[in-house]
């Protein structure tokens, strides 16, 4: 505790040395990796565009937030009346929640963008309650509501966790940070179960914790390696909410992890949905439960959500910044600044270096980036995907041909990302009269995921964001029908129609029920729009499998011939193809010294490595970095 006291004393002294007269500071406290300054006069900090806060943050080299003094805050009733009088009616105020523990008032609005910063500053000055604006989605979202309720019900637990986190992050280092190594726990020379351990003399940081969606013995990352110890982890950083990047996170909590998890806010909401769906599918299919609902709640309470571009200390001499990855809603590139300028590491997770209808492309400019760990899902020379526009027109052709035959277009989708991209594409085709209006049925938590998209439009492309801001929400189109019934025959008899259902690789979920009904219907079409991992049913069908086995209502195995037209439309992928991977390496600033390839099948990784090391590539691009392709269980010392 002496070490912690020393750090706290240094921080307080640095803050007070920067304060003008009359600031009336009453307390300085750790709030996770942030420093919370409590004051009776917040206006002192709000003047001149918060220049004082910026100066303090620069001096202490930590994130700073200003809160109102506990004893000076107005009572809730009086504060509520003032807030109601200041929030404009067009903002659509839905609810207020007062968090007494930290002096924060949550303001739920339908249109947060209609409330100015000046109004929020006035609320803070007049009430001493710090205003935190939350968006209420236009359709009911169970996951959004439940996460907010968990935080509100566990205020004291959360406050205690953040206090302990601050003490741990800002502990005095015992050892000098003079070396760093990366340990490959999963998704090296394979796709699935992404997990990377970054080790310094003082810290152990896990980047992603995914599952391999085949259900085999290699489902989990290599948490049994001697380098990995759940009790020694300082932090877990999650890039995005797909099971192959976040699915093993509850397992860590099941076996004792109680530390922080860093991710974007949309990723937290989407991950909760994925975890719950994984439990349901496992129960339905009689598979062993890897985790329970208890672990999901623990994750929520231990998550520290970050926005893009926020620099945050996560361990002694390790700073984390998340940047846009362009893969799915809230997906992030991870930037680690390690040591006093020792080395900077960028991990792409899954990324898309192209603008889509839903998302803007992956970020390319970093303060420093000596090492780049880069996904290589489509690293082969033949992995040249059509543009999104070409994919849209190809999908239109399939839909029109299926309409002529009065069939059903069944599209297995990942609920997160591909479902929304394809949904927007079909609506765009209808709007431009390329295909006639037809019902689009969605099932398998796609509607919940779409509600999360509406809750965080600031993470979407400028085009979609502006539609939502102007009350023209594409996810609430009259053509979209949310189906939650048991009788899927009812939907399959509505012809012509499009059905979007999970899971995207045919590894479970309601899409299998539709496939059982439609498989022998030669008038219908099965359209794959996302990557199919080796070993999944989706991959086997693309490789030619046409005899499918299902369980009937009595639990007996039945075999059906797949007579549907089988199509693969690749332009909707959330991954970069070979050209985009190369373009990213050309555009990333600064150019890394070392590129480590991961998240790709062995043959694709090797082919991409050979290309990057070829004289032809180096002469063409003038890039001359080292390229490494470790296998799982190997470690690489990067400094």
**Residue ranges of domains in the chain, CATH in brackets:** 173-382+575-637 (3.60.15.10), 388-568 (3.40.50.10890)
What pLDDT is stored for residue 171 in this prediction? 86
Q: How confident is the model at residue 268 (pLDDT cuts 50, 70, 90)?
A: very high
Hey, what are 224's tokens?
């049994």
Count of beta carbons in the 10 Å neighbourhood of residue 258: 14
Hey, what are 173's tokens?
């280092």
How many Å apart are CA 517 and CA 232, to the nearest integer?
A: 50
How many Å apart are CA 627 and CA 596, to the nearest integer?
A: 6
Count of beta carbons in the 10 Å neighbourhood of residue 317: 18
How many Å apart are CA 583 and CA 589, to the nearest integer?
A: 12
Which residue do the tokens 């049925």 mark?
Answer: 441
H/E/C letters for each residue in 5-51? HHHHHHHHHHHHCCCCCCCCEEEEEEECCEEEEEECCCHHHHHHHHH
173 DSSP assignment: P
pLDDT (tens digit per residue) in 170-189? 888 889 999 999 999 999 99
Which residues, other chains included, contact 13 with Cβ-Cβ below 8 Å and sequence gap of 6+?
none
pLDDT (tens digit per residue) in 571-605? 888 899 999 999 999 999 999 999 999 999 999 99
What pLDDT is stored for residue 392 in this prediction? 95
List Cα–Cα distances, 211 to 156, 191, 251, 513, in angstroms.
Answer: 32, 10, 10, 24
DSSP per position, 291-349: --HHHHHHHHHTEEE--TT--EEEETTEEEEEEE-SSSTT-EEEEEEETTTTEEEEE--
* DSSP reduced 3-state for 90: helix
The whole model's pTM is what?
0.91
Hey, what are 273's tokens?
């949905």
How many Å apart are CA 334 and CA 345, to the nearest integer?
A: 8
How many Å apart are CA 147 and CA 153, to the nearest integer?
A: 10
What pLDDT is stored for residue 181 in this prediction? 97
List residues bridging with 548 in a β-sheet.
560
- Residue 198, classified by CB atoms within 10 Å of its CB into exposed (0-12), middle (13-18) or buried (19+), is buried
What pLDDT is stored for residue 329 in this prediction? 95
pLDDT (tens digit per residue) in 363-417? 999 999 999 999 999 999 999 999 999 999 999 999 999 999 999 999 999 878 7
pLDDT (tens digit per residue) in 51-100? 888 889 888 888 899 999 999 999 999 999 999 999 999 999 999 999 99
What pLDDT is stored for residue 380 in this prediction? 95
What pLDDT is stored for residue 240 in this prediction? 98
Do strands 181-186 and 557-561 pair parallel, antiparallel, or not at all (unpaired)?
unpaired
Hey, what are 404's tokens?
């002529």
H/E/C letters for each residue in 224-283? CCCCCCHHHCCEEECCCCCHHHHCCHHHHHHCCCCCCEEECHHHHHHHHHHHHHHHHHHH
């Amino acid at each position: 505790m002496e070490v912690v006291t020393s750090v706290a004393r240094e921080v307080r002294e640095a803050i007070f040395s920067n304060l003008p007269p009359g600031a009336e500071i009453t307390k300085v406290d750790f709030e996770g990796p942030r420093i919370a300054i409590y004051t009776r006069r917040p206006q002192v900090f709000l003047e001149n565009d918060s220049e004082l806060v910026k100066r303090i943050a620069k001096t202490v080299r930590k994130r700073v937030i200003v809160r109102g003094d506990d004893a000076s805050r107005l009572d809730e009733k009086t504060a509520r009346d003032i807030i109601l009088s200041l929030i404009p009616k067009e903002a659509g105020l839905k609810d207020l929640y007062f968090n007494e523990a930290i002096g924060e008032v949550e303001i739920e609005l339908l249109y947060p963008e209609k409330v100015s910063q000046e109004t929020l500053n006035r609320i803070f000055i007049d009430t001493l309650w710090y205003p935190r604006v939350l968006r209420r989605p236009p359709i009911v979202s169970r996951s959004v509501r439940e996460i907010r309720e968990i935080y509100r019900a566990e205020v004291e637990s959360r406050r205690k966790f953040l206090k302990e986190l601050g003490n741990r992050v800002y502990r005095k280092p015992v050892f000098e940070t003079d070396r760093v190594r990366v340990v490959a726990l999963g998704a090296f020379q394979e796709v699935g179960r992404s997990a990377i351990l970054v080790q310094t003399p003082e810290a152990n940081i896990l980047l992603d914790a995914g599952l391999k969606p085949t259900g085999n013995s290699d489902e989990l990352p290599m948490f049994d390696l001697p380098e990995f110890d759940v009790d020694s982890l300082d932090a877990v950083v999650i890039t995005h909410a797909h099971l192959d990047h976040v699915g093993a996170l509850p397992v860590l909590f099941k076996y004792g992890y109680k530390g922080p998890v860093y991710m974007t806010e949309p990723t937290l909401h989407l991950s909760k949905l994925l975890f719950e769906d994984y439990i349901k599918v496992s129960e339905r299919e009689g598979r062993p439960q890897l985790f329970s609902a208890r672990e999901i709640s623990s994750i929520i309470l231990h998550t520290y959500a970050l926005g893009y571009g926020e620099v945050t200390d996560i361990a002694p001499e390790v700073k984390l910044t998340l940047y846009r990855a362009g893969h799915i809603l809230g997906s992030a590139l991870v930037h680690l600044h390690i040591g006093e300028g020792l080395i900077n590491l960028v991990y792409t997770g899954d990324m898309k270096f192209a603008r889509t209808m839903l998302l803007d492309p992956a970020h390319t400019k970093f303060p420093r980036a000596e090492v780049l760990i880069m996904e290589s899902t489509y690293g082969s020379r033949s992995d040249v995907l059509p543009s999104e526009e070409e994919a849209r027109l190809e999908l239109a052709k399939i839909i029109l041909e299926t309409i002529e035959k009065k069939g059903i277009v069944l599209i297995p989708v990942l609920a997160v990302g591909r479902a929304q991209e394809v949904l927007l594409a079909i609506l765009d085709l209808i709007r431009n009269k390329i295909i006639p209006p037809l019902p689009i049925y969605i099932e398998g938590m796609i509607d919940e995921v779409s509600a999360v998209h509406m809750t965080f439009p600031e993470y979407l492309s400028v085009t979609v964001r502006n539609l939502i801001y102007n009350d023209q929400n594409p996810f609430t189109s009259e053509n979209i029908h949310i189906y939650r019934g048991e009788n899927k025959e009812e939907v399959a008899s509505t012809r012509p129609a499009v059905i979007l259902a999970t899971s995207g690789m045919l590894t479970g979920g309601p899409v299998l029920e539709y496939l059982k009904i439609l498989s022998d219907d030669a008038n219908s079409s099965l359209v794959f729009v996302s990557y199919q991992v080796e070993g999944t049913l989706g991959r086997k069908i693309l490789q030619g499998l046409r005899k499918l086995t299902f369980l009937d209502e009595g639990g007996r195995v039945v075999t059906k011939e797949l007579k549907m037209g089988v199509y693969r439309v690749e332009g909707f992928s959330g991954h970069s193809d070979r050209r985009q991977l190369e373009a990213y390496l050309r555009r990333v600033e600064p150019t890394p010294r070392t590129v480590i390839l991961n998240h790709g099948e062995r043959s694709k990784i090797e082919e991409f490595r050979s290309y990057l090391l070829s004289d032809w590539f180096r002469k063409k691009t003038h890039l001359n970095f080292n390229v490494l392709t470790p296998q799982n269980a190997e470690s690489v010392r990067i400094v």
